[in-house]
Homo-oligomer: A and B are copies of this chain.
Amino acid sequence: METIKTLLNHKTIRNYKTDPIDDHILDEILEAGFRASTTGNMQVYSVIVTKDEQRRKELCKLHFGQQMVEQAPVTLTFCADFNRFNKWCRQRDADPGYDNFLSFFTAAIDALLVAQNVCVAAEAHGLGICYLGPTTYQADKLIDFFDLPEGVVPVTTVVIGYPNEDPEQVDRLPAEGVVHQEKYKDYSREDIDRIYAHKENLPLTARLIEENQLENLAQIFTFKRYTKKDNVHFSKVFLDAIEDQGFMNNEE
């Protein structure tokens, strides 16, 4: 089954050819994206297409210099967007009550489901994709960069282009490690050891530990990749952005 194969074969691509993507292919990919489920068929999201070379260079910097933003022909920024819906309501004598956290999260879900559909559609076309984590960390700067009005918050970014590499597929935890039957079965020490054993025994892990001069893979995450200090800092940035964009009026 082609669809299942597409999903099972997913690999994140970090090295792209500079070949452009035909407009009709990009349009079809986006169209497939917009078919994703959306709360109440409100479609409270927007997608911003970055193709311009100079803008890609600037956007690359905002994503902490991840080169694929400059290299690949297209970057898509997916935003939670109640601005359009609010404007529609106001133009129809309907008073929108969507300036709160629930509405932000509803719109974020909408945007993320579209993003994933877009990625699947892109891969079906032989394109490669890469999600960019810094979207939420740099929300304030991206709001400026894209001129996002009140009611619009960027939630994720996807780079799309033709792959210039064919990496090995990365590991995943065994399904038993992430699936629970009926109720959440909390993890014993033995469960944790078993679930993470494969990942911890990979040659890649050994190399990373060596390079980082740490004791184990978990320490690479907590000391290097995703530190408490950064997380706390970026939590504030992101929450402030959500509030500044008008999504934190949670009182009647």
Contacts and interface: CB of A to CB of B under 8 A. Distances in A.
A22 interface: no
Interface of A: 1-4, 6-10, 12, 27-28, 30-37, 39-43, 45-52, 55, 79, 81, 83-85, 87-89, 91-98, 100-103, 105-106, 108-109, 112-113, 115-117, 119-121, 123-125, 129-131, 133, 136-137, 146-149, 152, 155-156, 170-173, 175, 177-184, 186-187, 189, 192-193, 195-196, 215-219, 221-223, 225-229, 231-232, 234-236, 238-239, 249-252
A88 B218 contact: yes
B109 A155 contact: yes
Given A116-B116, A124-B4, A219 B184 contact: no
Contacts of A39: 131, 133
A56 to B, nearest CB: 10
Given A83-B186, A226-B98, A120 B117 contact: yes
Nearest to A216: B92
Contacts of A146: 180, 183-184
Contact of A46 (B2, B10, B179): B179
A209 to B, nearest CB: 11
A182 B133 contact: no
B232 A251 contact: yes
B10 A36 contact: yes
A235 B221 contact: no
Contacts of A238: 101-102, 105
Contact of A88 (B31, B175, B192, B235): B192
Closest 10 CB pairs of A and B: A97-B228, A3-B124, A92-B218, A7-B32, A116-B116, A94-B218, A2-B2, A94-B222, A102-B235, A100-B235
B93 A215 contact: yes
17 contacts: A3-B121, A7-B120, A10-B37, A37-B129, A39-B133, A41-B172, A48-B180, A51-B181, A81-B178, A83-B187, A96-B228, A101-B235, A105-B238, A117-B120, A147-B186, A149-B186, A236-B250
Contact of A112 (B92, B101, B112, B222): B112
A12 to B, nearest CB: 6
B35 A94 contact: no
